[in-house]
Amino acid sequence: MISPRELARIVLAEPFQPFRIHTASGRTFDVRHPEFVQVGRSVMTIYTPPEGNPDGPERWERLSYMLIESLAQLDVSVSPNSE
């Protein structure tokens, strides 16, 4: 289990580092932007943007901290600026 304080520290870090949440049930959630997660007292709310279809459904999931098994930093490749 991760504490709300620890999760808030990760979400508010400068610069923000995208991360993946692994749950005890095997589900994963990618948090690619700090505004996609809301830290509460006993649960967090995670926003998942629609994939592939910008007009597709948005999803908000509530997740208890007790169900979080681990967090892992996402490898985000940055494309070089082409001039």
Q: Is the model's pLDDT at 78 over the cut of 50? A: no
Q: Is the model's pLDDT at 50 over the cut of 50? A: yes
Tell me the residue range of the domain where 35 lies. 4-73
79 within a domain of the structure (yes/no) = no
30 within a domain of the structure (yes/no) = yes
| Residue closest to 59 by CA, chosen among 68, 71, 51, 67 | 51
Residue 22: φ, ψ to 5°: -105, 130
The mean per-residue pLDDT over the stretch 36-65 comes to: 87
Query: How many domains is the chain partitioned into structurally?
Result: 1
CATH number of the domain bearing residue 46: 2.30.30
Q: Which helix (H) or strand (E) holds 36?
A: none
3-state secondary structure of 7: helix
Q: What is the pLDDT of residue 76?
A: 65
Q: Is the model's pLDDT at 77 over the cut of 70? A: no
The mean per-residue pLDDT over the stretch 10-22 comes to: 94
78 within a domain of the structure (yes/no) = no
As a whole number of angstroms, the distance between CA 17 and CA 14 comes to 8
Residue 29 pLDDT class (50, 70, 90 cuts): very high
